[in-house]
Structure 1
Amino acid sequence: MKFAYYPGCSARSTCAELNEATHRVAARLGLDLISIESATCTGARELRAIDPIGFFTLNLRILALAEREGLPLMTICNTCTLNLLDAHAAFLEEPGLGETVNARLSAEGLRYSGRTRISHFLWVLYEDIGLDRLRELVVKPLNGLSVAAFYGCHITRPPQRYGFVDSRNNIALERLAELLGCQPIDYSGRTECCGFHTAAHDERVAFKLTGQHNGDAVSPLPYRA
Structure 2
Amino acid sequence: MALNTCVIALSFGRNIMTMLTYPPFEYPQAHHIAGVDEVGRGPLVGAVVTAAVILDPTQPIAGLTDSKKLSEKRRLQLAEEIKLKARCWSLGRAEVEEIDQLNIFHATLLAMQRAVANLAIKPDFVLVDGNRLPSLPMPAQTVVKGDLRVAEISAASILAKVARDAEMAELAVAFPQYGFAQHKGYPTKLHLTKLAELGATPFHRTSFAPVARVLKAHEKNH
**TM-score, scaled relative to structure 1:** 0.26
Structure with greater proportional helix content: 1
Relative contact order: is structure 1 or structure 2 higher (C-alpha 8 Å, sep ≥ 6)? 2
